[in-house]
Structure 1
Amino acid sequence: MAIPQSVVVPPTRAAVFLVGTIAEGGERTVRDLLQNLAGVIRTVAFRAPGDGLVCVAGVGSEAWGRLFPGGPRPRELHPFKELDGPAGHRAPATPGDLLFHIRAQRMDLCFELARQVTDHLGDAVTVVDEVHGFKYFDERDLLGFVDGSENPTGPTADAAVYIGDEDPLFQGGSYVIVQKYLHDLAAWTALPTPEQEKAIGRHKFSNVEFPDDVKAPNAHIAVNTVVENGVQRQIVRENMPFGAVGSGEFGTYFIGYARTPAVTERMLDKMFLGDPPGNTDRILDFSTAVTGCLFFVPSVDFLNAVTVGGSDAGSLGVGSLKDT
């Protein structure tokens, strides 16, 4: 099994999310950074080895063909699927060639690594979205509810996230979908707590989930459950709150890792289109998606096998990948 990037890690107190687009002619610089990303991480992480600094890099569909022309391609990598649902609920697709998901127990470590990454990339990449996330009390979002308590753990999380024999050249890889949601906190806080709990599908204080026979069909938890052949399909969410008090911006950065993007896409279909049609996620009446991107997260072995060479075409050490 190929060595995966650090996707499944314990929750952290801080995160920086960088989404960028690659300039024409910037492919070689990007490949060089991806190949040497582990070393860049070490230059920052050694200063505070106990604070868990990690960085996951992802590549978008269109950028994959530019970075590795003629090479193998993850079989399920495609652009983010934009959704237009009833009542104006929309999941937009927005530009994004690269994702850097940086996490640590301290924001200064995340900030420094983000600076080092962007310094290495220079003019080759334009950052089109930058979000600084923070832990909010006991893993709550800005709506006041615990977020991520249904995440699988241990071997179950690994099985949900990392590709296996179904795509041999990309074992240890993963798919990740990101969306930035902005909340109408004024409207949400005006909602009585019992109505908030009904919209989410769990008690606000205790975090106890409502029984299925009590849970509203459009509750967030109900809509985000995907069951196939009697088995619940799972993803690993690493969501973080973010905000700017002065400008009144309050949000949640959704980031969901999965072995196949089809599971997360099915959740989004149910949220924005409804299942049955029209039964959309109640939370969308208060939260608006403003970005949407899909990336492939290669294994560490894959990144190490990238060769930059003297030309801008780049290549992959495919033989070494087959041997992992």
Structure 2
Amino acid sequence: MPTDLPEPQAVCNPVTRSAIFIVATLEPGPEHAKTVRDLCADVAGLVRAVGTRAPSGELSCVSGFGSDAWDALFGAPRPANLHAFREFGEGARRAIGTPGDLLLHIRADHMDLCFELAAQLMGRLGGAVSVVDEVHGFRYFDLRDMVGFVDGTENPRAREAFDFVVIGDQDPEFAGGSYVIVQKYLHDMAAWDSLSVEAQERIIGRKKLSDVELADGVKPSSSHSSLTTIEKDGQEVKILRHNMAFGRPGAGEFGTYFIGYANAPDPIEQMLENMFVGRPPGNYDRLLDYSRAVTGGLFFVPSAPMLEALADRNP
């Protein structure tokens, strides 16, 4: 990590075996805002306290705030690119925005660590927030998503990940921070499994077993991998995905929780527009014929020292 930037939260940590995603809305009233601000100073300590029970478990927590919540909790100044989630598409194929002021991305190699930290955090928040979505995710075999393909193959790594994910000179007052977009997708597995492996591979743009990308002459322009590849000035712009599978087989629920980090929302929003509207319009991601987004939110993730300092900010 460059030494001239504040330490980020754990956005670039490796993928773990388990995760809990909590999205909550802020209850009105100055006392509730103070409760949330007070917790900002203690998140790191709670992670350390719970994590010492199993030091090899790689416990971490990333805290993010929505646009309206930032104004209510912290006031000005505000991150340059923080805004409400932008919706794309129409009808049944639509990236929808749903309520969310606070995001907690808790992860570890053991679900008991995630569960205990989530319980501690929510115990501290009490009635200051209302949870609108909670997902317990798991790593599915060799980093595969629920539809059976390896997820996150093109993730940047090491210094490259830091450069694509962490804010630097773009917004100096918020250096060390990141933006994160989350979406919960539900899959029609009966319809998906009725496809041949070859048809699935054309939709994703990769071989299912080997994860090798299809050749340009074979891979459709509507494939998922084609539409989520973004270039600027001749260079590919990457994001960092920490997606997790989730589900309840007894209830027929099979899903993928998308979570993407970047140093600006633009590349993720461009990917979503390509997927839901199409590039060009109409040439949309055919995976969306089998997957439906049911939540959507954009959050700003302050640096670790800024998160702690936010406890003392009062708009």
TM-score range for the pair, normalised by the shorter chain length: over 0.9
1:47 is matched with: 53
Conserved 8 A contact 2:39-2:311: no
- 1:63 and 2:66 matched: no
TM-score (norm 2): 0.96
1:105-164 superposed Cα distances (whole Å, 9 cap, x missing partner): 000000110000100000001111000000111111111110011101010000000000
Cα shift at 1:212: 1.7
TM-score (norm 1): 0.94
Count of residues paired in the alignment: 309
5+ unaligned residues in a row in structure 1: which ranges?
316-324
Tell me the amino acid that sits aligned with residue 199 of structure 2. Answer: E
1:35 is matched with: 41
| SS, match of residue 17 in structure 1 | strand
* Partner residue of 1:183 out of 187, 192, 195: 187
CA distance in 2, matches of 1:214, 1:21: 45
* Partner residue of 1:210 out of 202, 211, 214: 214
1:230-269 mapped onto 2 (5 Å cutoff): 230-269=234-273
- 1:169 and 2:173 matched: yes
* Partner residue of 1:72 out of 65, 68, 77: 77
* Partner residue of 2:88 out of 83, 89, 96: 83
Tell me the amino acid that sits aligned with residue 237 of structure 2. Answer: R
CA distance in 1, matches of 2:96, 2:41: 31
CA distance in 1, matches of 2:140, 2:184: 17
Cα shift at 1:314: 1.7
- 1:281 and 2:285 matched: yes
1:223-259 superposed Cα distances (whole Å, 9 cap, x missing partner): 1111111111100000000000111000000000001
Tell me the amino acid that sits aligned with residue 242 of structure 1. Answer: F
Tell me the amino acid that sits aligned with residue 259 of structure 2. Answer: I
CA distance in 1, matches of 2:22, 2:307: 19
1:155-191 superposed Cα distances (whole Å, 9 cap, x missing partner): 0000000000111110000000000000000000000
- Deviation above 4 Å: which 4+ runs of structure 1? none
2:314 is matched with: 314
CA distance in 2, matches of 1:164, 1:307: 23
Aligned Cα RMSD in Å? 1.0
| SS, match of residue 306 in structure 1 | helix
- 1:201 and 2:205 matched: yes
| SS, match of residue 195 in structure 1 | helix
Cα shift at 1:88: 2.8
Cα shift at 1:11: 1.3
5+ unaligned residues in a row in structure 2: which ranges?
none
Tell me the amino acid that sits aligned with residue 14 of structure 1. Answer: S
